[in-house]
Structure 1
Amino acid sequence: MHIEATTALWFLIPALPICVYTFYVDMKHKRISNLTVWVLFASFLVLGVALLPFDGALWMSYFGGIWDNLLRKLPYDTLTWLEPLRPAPADGPLVKPPADQIPWRFYNYVIVFVVGFLFWMLRQMGAGDVKLAAVMVLFMDPRDAGTVMWICFAAILAATATTLLIRHTPLHRLAPEWAAWRQTSMDDPNTVGGGQRLTVPMGTGFGVTLCAYLALGALYGA
């Protein structure tokens, strides 16, 4: 794994209790509060700034190079008034910042949020699930994307299987009021997916994914 073991351990300290609370609320009430997401986001900001590298000069050079490349594509021959904007010849190839730099985390945050928003519009994910997933990827090294996908798949599958097992066995009597065991109503405007069917406990799966990834990173990280 590419995430540093020390970084993963520090991230795990606040993430673990937050994810445990997320599991409890998601299974009992089938929702994820904004406060939970904000606390997780704030913990990343505090620890991320302290632990993750950031080279401001390199990023300024990178974005400046992208801007220059865009300017070079303008039709200066036909639109002479653009001539003052013509950039100077490039000094060398564009240097891409390393993947461990903190801005890449926010780049992934935007991508996950946009994809999750599309799923929310299709009523396949709850709004809390979308926000939690987006904040969750801030804690993950972009180079570990493949590993994270497998962990997430296994976590959601395990959460769904466990929910089905408890729902159809006497185990649900241990917490009969929990919403995870109840069928959803098609008349409920907040129902994800619609219809009289069980919905996947995405929040629980995402929480398990984050904790499992950070725990593995603390043990086997760089």
Structure 2
Amino acid sequence: MSIDWTTAAWFLPFVAPITVWVAWSDMASMKIPNKAVLALLAVFVVVGLVALPFGEYLWRYAHFGVVLAIGFVLSAIGGVGAGDAKYAAAMAPFIARPDFMPFMFLLAATVIAAFILHRLARASAIRQRFETWESWTRREFPMGFALAPALLFYLLIGFFTG
């Protein structure tokens, strides 16, 4: 991965609690709050000024625009939920352009792991502990449970290997 460890170090303390909030909320209510999306974007807007060279910082807004446009189309045709599309767009500026494909592999692995963990938890006693969670009874998968950790893992990998 090409993310620098200092960039990851700047973003991690602010992004980590938002990722927990998003994953938890999506499992509990099958919704990613707009406030969480805006909070993540605000972290990039503010911390990105310090964490990234200014030219790169500005270019990363293009990542947001491209992913937002793709997410809008996918949401319109029923491919993804609107919250998932907005959250993915807010995540996009954190990902360095050369890391696009490695991040996609990381995201794919995270989706598979999150799906398996969710289905195992749904079939176990954990479900009784959080019996009001909507994701236990819905056919759809709470994609925030995979998107949020993928961003966290990306930053952690950058921190420890960058």
Q: TM-score range by the shorter chain?
A: over 0.9
SS in 1 for 2:121: helix
Residue type of the alignment partner of 1:6: T
2:26 & 2:121 partners in 1: Cα distance? 15
Match of 1:139 in 2: 94
1:70-89 equivalent positions in 2, closer than 5 A: none
TM-aligned CA deviation for residue 217 of structure 1: 0.2
Deviations 1:64-104 (A, max 9, x none): xxxxxxxxxxxxxxxxxxxxxxxxxxxxxxxxxxxxx1232
Select the residue among 78, 91, 103 that pairs with 1:123: 78
Say which structure is richer in helix: 2
Match of 2:153 in 1: 212
> Is structure 2 residue 134 aligned with structure 1 residue 200?
no
Structure-2-length-normalised TM-score: 0.95
The number of residue pairs the alignment matches comes to: 162
Select the residue among 158, 174, 183 that pairs with 2:129: 174
Select the residue among 152, 173, 192 that pairs with 2:107: 152
Alignment RMSD, CA only? 1.2
CA contact (8 A) 1:104 1:142 kept: no
CA contact (8 A) 2:110 2:146 kept: yes
CA contact (8 A) 2:11 2:51 kept: no
CA contact (8 A) 2:14 2:43 kept: yes
Deviations 1:120-177 (A, max 9, x none): 0121211111111001011111111111001111111111111111222333112111
CA contact (8 A) 1:167 1:181 kept: yes
SS in 1 for 2:140: coil
Match of 1:50 in 2: 50
Instruction: Please list every run of 5 or more consecutive structure 1 residues that lacks an aligned counterpart in the other structure.
Output: 56-100, 184-197
SS in 1 for 2:54: coil
1:96-111 equivalent positions in 2, closer than 5 A: 101-111=56-66
Larger CA Rg, structure 1 vs 2: 1
TM-aligned CA deviation for residue 17 of structure 1: 0.5
Deviations 1:166-194 (A, max 9, x none): 222333112111011013xxxxxxxxxxx
TM-aligned CA deviation for residue 51 of structure 1: 2.1
2:83 & 2:25 partners in 1: Cα distance? 11
Q: Which of structures 1 and 2 has the larger relative contact order (alpha carbons within 8 angstroms, sep 6+)?
A: 2
Q: Percent identity?
A: 34
